[in-house]
């Protein structure tokens, strides 16, 4: 029953991620029609609530309940996307795209802390494999979304893509209403203000062995990997005369390397600590290779190494982090990792952009150094004894 419930939720959530990926592409395509500045505004507006409100999302889920928070957010997204589908029938103005991005980012900020710890509610045994299954399934959905979105845009436009997204959110909402995880904590009455709850979570995180090094390592990966793939790689490709298709091929190697690694983990479990902590060094080697060699094949190999190396570490770190989290603070601890993944990008991207303006190879060298700097934090996590089996936390 436990495995069946998890798989039903995973199938539904993967469909929802696919629908969201389709819409994200479609909205970006529509925004591009208003010019580069408008497209940047629409794509950026969603990330602001994610960075600002994600901690509040952790408090909300711990107070209201993890599954209830996810269900409420999915219901809200059904309404948002259904309204967007209807409103876009006669064309979507820029204000509508901005509004959808802002609303979507706000709802996702409140939902993500709960979603990232949901697999733990099905037990601690094979948690690494279960989380890797979620990661690989969602990655496949995100990869397929843009291709399908491009097709649907040509055969129905934004009303069709938004309607599909609303339907997939309805599917995952139904799954959440039907699936009852065996280790779901019972929400406790709110104690004090939101700020006090945040402070309590932060203090407990600081006291929990291995948690701070995980957050440091995650921040290090966040401030390097996405800016590398989304900023440094396109700039390097243009400098070397690569076509857009060739840059896309190289960029896809990051997804491919990470996906292969998560599939391996889903089948055989997370890598041993001594292997996992070598992941950032492998990724740094990929950044160096990209800086030194200009051939397409070298770019594919380099970015694939980045995908494999970072995923080697994260598939070890995240299950260890979630397993160490106190049951009554699952979502608040999760919100800290979400912030560690979103906040540094806002700082690192303009700084790496400035370095790339001087020399793209300088930016790649900075990325390699920052990746290597995450290794000591990862080693500290590896030295902390793994937690034992979870007890039933539903009472």
Closest CA to 49 of 105, 119, 131: 105
pLDDT of the residue at 2: 56
Rounded-to-integer distance, Cα 200 and Cα 24, Å: 35
Closest CA to 163 of 245, 77, 102, 221: 77
Task: Give the side-chain half-sphere CA count within 13 A for 20.
Answer: 25
More confident residue, 234 or 337: 337
Rounded-to-integer distance, Cα 16 and Cα 204, Å: 33
pLDDT at 263 over 80: yes
Q: Residue 122 is encoded by which pair of tokens? A: 């099905």
∠ CA(280), CA(134), CA(384), 5° rounding?
45
Cβ–Cβ under 8 Å, residues 383 and 233: no
Closest CA to 26 of 90, 77, 101: 101
Rounded-to-integer distance, Cα 170 and Cα 161, Å: 14
3-state secondary structure of 190: coil
- Helix axis angle for 375-383 and 211-222, nearest 10°, is 150
Q: Which of 35-39, 285-289, 380-384 has the lowest mean pLDDT?
A: 35-39
Q: Predicted confidence band at 267 (pLDDT cuts at 50, 70, 90)?
A: confident
Q: Residue 303 is encoded by which pair of tokens? A: 């970015």
The per-residue pLDDT for range 76-114, each reduced to its tens digit, is: 999 999 999 999 888 888 889 889 989 998 999 899 999
pLDDT at 150 over 80: no
Q: Indicate the length of the chain as a whole number.
A: 395
Q: Work out the number of other CB atoms within 10 angstroms of the CB of residue 169.
A: 26
Q: Which of 117-121, 129-133, 146-150, 252-256 has the lowest mean pLDDT?
A: 146-150
The per-residue pLDDT for range 299-310, each reduced to its tens digit, is: 999 999 999 999
Rounded-to-integer distance, Cα 375 and Cα 371, Å: 7
Closest CA to 323 of 386, 264, 393, 392: 386
CA torsion 54-60-61-62 (nearest 10°) is 110
Rounded-to-integer distance, Cα 145 and Cα 18, Å: 5
pLDDT of the residue at 163: 93
Q: What percent of the chain has pLDDT over 70?
A: 93
Q: Predicted confidence band at 392 (pLDDT cuts at 50, 70, 90)?
A: very low
pLDDT of the residue at 390: 35
The per-residue pLDDT for range 42-87, each reduced to its tens digit, is: 767 777 887 788 888 888 888 888 999 999 999 999 999 999 999 9
Domains of the chain (ranges, CATH numbers): 2-127+141-180 (1.20.1250), 201-383 (1.20.1250.20)
Rounded-to-integer distance, Cα 195 and Cα 124, Å: 30
Average pLDDT value over all residues in the chain: 84
Q: Work out the number of other CB atoms within 10 angstroms of the CB of residue 234.
A: 18
More confident residue, 182 or 391: 182
pLDDT of the residue at 386: 56
pLDDT of the residue at 76: 96
Q: What is the arithmetic mean of pLDDT over 327-339? A: 84
Q: Predicted confidence band at 247 (pLDDT cuts at 50, 70, 90)?
A: confident
Which residue do the tokens 């990997």 mark?
225
């Amino acid at each position: 029953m436990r495995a069946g419930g998890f798989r039903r939720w995973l199938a539904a959530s993967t469909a929802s991620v696919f629908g969201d990926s389709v819409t994200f592409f479609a909205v970006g395509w529509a925004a591009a029609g208003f010019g580069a500045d408008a497209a940047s505004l629409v794509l950026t507006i969603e990330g602001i609530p994610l960075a600002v409100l994600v901690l509040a999302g952790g408090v909300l889920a711990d107070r209201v309940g993890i599954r209830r928070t996810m269900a409420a957010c999915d219901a809200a997204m059904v309404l948002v996307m259904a309204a967007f589908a209807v409103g876009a029938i006669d064309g979507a103005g820029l204000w509508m795209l901005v509004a959808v991005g802002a609303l979507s980012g706000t709802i996702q900020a409140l939902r993500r802390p709960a979603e990232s710890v949901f697999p733990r509610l099905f037990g601690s045994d094979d948690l690494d494999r279960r989380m890797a299954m979620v990661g690989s399934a969602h990655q496949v959905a995100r990869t397929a979304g843009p291709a399908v979105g491009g097709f649907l845009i040509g055969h129905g436009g934004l009303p069709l893509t938004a309607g599909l997204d609303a339907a997939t959110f309805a599917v995952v909402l139904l799954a959440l209403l039907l699936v009852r995880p065996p280790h779901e904590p019972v929400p406790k009455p709110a104690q004090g203000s939101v700020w006090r709850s945040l402070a309590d979570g932060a203090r407990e995180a600081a006291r929990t062995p291995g948690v701070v090094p995980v957050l440091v390592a995650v921040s290090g990966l966040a401030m390097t990997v996405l800016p590398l793939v989304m900023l440094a790689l396109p700039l390097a490709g243009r400098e070397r005369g690569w076509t857009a298709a060739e840059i896309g091929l190289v960029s896809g190697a990051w997804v491919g390397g990470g996906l292969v690694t998560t599939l391996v983990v889903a089948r055989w479990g997370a890598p041993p600590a001594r292997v996992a902590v070598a992941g950032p060094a492998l990724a740094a080697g990929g950044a160096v290779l990209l800086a030194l060699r200009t051939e397409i094949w070298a770019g594919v190999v380099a970015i694939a190494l980045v995908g494999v190396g970072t995923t080697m570490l994260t598939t070890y770190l995240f299950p260890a982090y979630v397993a160490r989290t106190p049951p009554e603070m699952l979502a608040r601890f999760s919100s800290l990792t979400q912030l560690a993944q979103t906040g540094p990008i806002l700082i690192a991207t303009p700084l790496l952009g400035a370095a790339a303006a001087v020399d793209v190879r300088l930016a790649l060298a900075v990325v390699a150094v920052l990746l290597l700097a995450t290794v000591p934090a990862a080693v500290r996590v590896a030295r902390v004894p793994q937690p034992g089996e979870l007890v039933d936390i539903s009472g």
